[in-house]
Structure 1
């Protein structure tokens, strides 16, 4: 690791990004924010990998949709059918707390970030996120859903609509 660090430093020990010829871009900052968010999604091995089963987490949080705007109360529900990994509740709570610390341009942007993060870190067979802003915030519901192309369990998916 020391050789990697010294390769990243310039001849005068200037940290990466502080060199005017190689500035940190806004894209670099966005990827850094994604990495910081995803670091909170600590996973555990699926204890029943041979079975398709549904995991459902629910919670409340306050999200800001502008830098100076008031936080809006949001109910969230995350459902997934795990493959090799699961997200323990304490890790999901920590992740959601970190997510709430960031202002989002739209509820859809926050939901898209959660779907991308959980999909990338947990890689479930099926994944669904619902964000519901209460009536005082306009009564908006945002639903994102993903599933693996080759995964199918029609009986489980039919029951999902009833839950």
Structure 2
């Protein structure tokens, strides 16, 4: 059976600085109609940044939608027309103050495909060296944490690390 849904109409509900929300009217495989609320996001890049063989950099930041500070990989949004790898290099430096001599693509994930079209591209950064120390955007407040990989895995299992992109990236370690 073909499970594809054909979009017959799109109505913009919200147009924001980062996301758009659209209401899609779709024809279902069984011949009926339905609607889908879809968040359009430009995508992002997350970086597993190795300080040494056993230590990675995580960032701690407050996330308003869940009203708490969490640990996650350095990451950020791809700007319109920006090369994905260059975005990763930019975000690594913006969020950690480090650049990498080695920067390697590992894979990609979809964050929440039930309602959002965001892809997150995961890179590995090795041979770090100091870059610009002006951390974060003007509305972004970050603490950098050096965490042993084994400790990070324990923190995932215990629920201390709950960020999906960070947990997913551990599949590449």
- Normalised by the length of structure 1, the TM-score is 0.27
State the structure with more CA Rg.
Answer: 1
**In proportion to residue count, which structure has more helix?**
1
**In proportion to residue count, which structure has more strand?**
2
- Normalised by the length of structure 2, the TM-score is 0.26
